[in-house]
Amino acid sequence: MRELTVSRRKFLAASAIGLGAAALSNFNLREASADGPTAPPPKPLGFAFVGIGGFAMGQLLPGITRAKYCKPVALVSGHPDKARAQARRYNIDPKNIYNYDNYDSIKDNPDIDVVYIVLPNSMHAEYTLRAFQAGKHVICEKPMAVSVKEAQQMVDAAKTAGKRLQIGYRMHFDSPTQACINAIRNGDIGPLQIIEAETGFRIGDPSQWRLNRKLSGGGCLMDIGIYSLSAARYLSGEEPTEVFAHTYGDASDPRFKEVEQNCDFQLKFPSGVLASCLSSYNANLNRYVAHGRNGRCILEPGQAYNGVKFQISKGRSLQAVDVPPLDQFSGEMDGFVQALAGNSPFKATGEEGLQDMRIIEAIYESARTGASVKV
């Protein structure tokens, strides 16, 4: 297989061109790289992490140490020992360790500019609203909430507080993903026809919060299928008008007593593009394919913390495209600070998360009723 290479400079320039054509205009990587040539560097902002579980400890705290414009300054946790150990590791002043009861007193701490919510899904809305009441900006993990109603409250609370809300959509800051979007927008595979988006993994411990409906809000669709949905939206650059879906759960499996095990859904877009999306808590799936009239683009793995691979076929053999990697985690945090400083547009906004929640509710309604649902 022949390999195409995109230089970092060319890639960033192409991303900027891609922005103009993209309907999802806030999905752009140039600013995500957070090193625009003319932008004066913003003052580093202090981040408080709320919930120090697997993702915060495994990805976000290491990620912020690679950021240029962010620093970890506070932790909010129900486990004081764990919080003290992480504070030592990241040089956080122990006086800036909070728990869920004294969380609201972050309002008196000027070191904290941004609160990053990394809690189970059903806690996102409450802790986001409390952060806005404390006068802080917020990044909240995906899915932003467990209902459209909550998501709307979060968007409204940001406006009332005069603060900004970003959702932890890290693929918006991934360079092979952006290169694929640019290729589609540039017409490299001809007019887009069909998108396939598959995401899933085999979930373990039946007692974890992801399998508890009250805490998760739903099953594989909420947790991993949201990536298939997001990919269908950013690859097409359109918003779906209609959805049709099925869900399935093996009632005899202790993992799937409360939430769905598998969800497949189809999306219809205004141009006629159709997306066929799969998500699963019981199969490993990780691939996006965009089929155009004259070729196809493949992202496989389609979503990963790093190492997303982009391949393109313009009617002939498939070619790997070598895209310079950019760090998703420092990228999303630096990107937010750059946007707050006025150096770049906001991406992965609360409104973008709210739109996903509207479509997710339509998907669940279709699966429940057996009928297609207009969005």
Q: How many residues bind ligand NAD (CB under 6 A)?
A: 18
Task: Say which of 103, 227, 281, 364 is annotated catalytic.
Answer: 227
Which CB atom, from 127 or from 269, has the smaller least distance to ligand NAD? 127
227 is catalytic: yes
71 classed as catalytic: no
* 53 binds ligand NAD, rule: CB under 6 A: yes
Note whether 168 binds ligand NAD by CB under 6 A.
yes
Report the relative pairing of strands 262-268 and 274-280 from DSSP bridges: antiparallel
93: Cβ–Cβ under 8 A, 6 or more apart, which residues? 73, 87, 111
User: What span, in angstroms and rounded, lies between the C-alpha atoms of 327 and 103?
Assistant: 30
| 353 touches ligand NAD (CB under 6 A) | no
Residue number with CB closer to ligand NAD (121 or 182): 121
Contact call for residue 78 and ligand NAD (CB under 6 A)? yes
176 closest CA partner among 7, 1, 13, 322: 322
Which of the residues 109 through 128 are near ligand NAD (CB under 6 A)? 118-121
Residue 55 engages ligand NAD in binding (rule: CB under 6 A): yes
User: Which of 48, 52, 146, 259 lies at the binding interface for ligand NAD (CB under 6 A)?
Assistant: 52
Give 302's DSSP letter.
S
* Contacts with 320 (C-beta within 8 Å, 6 or more apart), sequence order: 1, 3, 4, 309, 310, 311
Find out whether 323 and 6 touch, Cβ atoms under 8 Å. yes
Indicate the angle between helix axes 350-369 and 226-236, nearest 10 degrees: 110
State in angstroms the smallest separation of the CB of 312 from ligand NAD.
Answer: 25
Q: How far is the CB of 44 from ligand NAD (least distance, A)?
A: 22
Tokens (6 digits) for 217: 């809000």
Among 142, 163, 268, 347, which one carries the catalytic annotation?
142
CA angle, corner 106, sides to 100 and 112, nearest 5?
Answer: 125
For the window 202-241, what string marks contact with ligand NAD as x by the rule CB under 6 A?
-------x-----x-------x------------------
Q: Which residues bind ligand NAD (CB under 6 A)?
A: 51-56, 78, 118-121, 141-142, 168, 170, 209, 215, 223
Catalytic residues: 142, 227
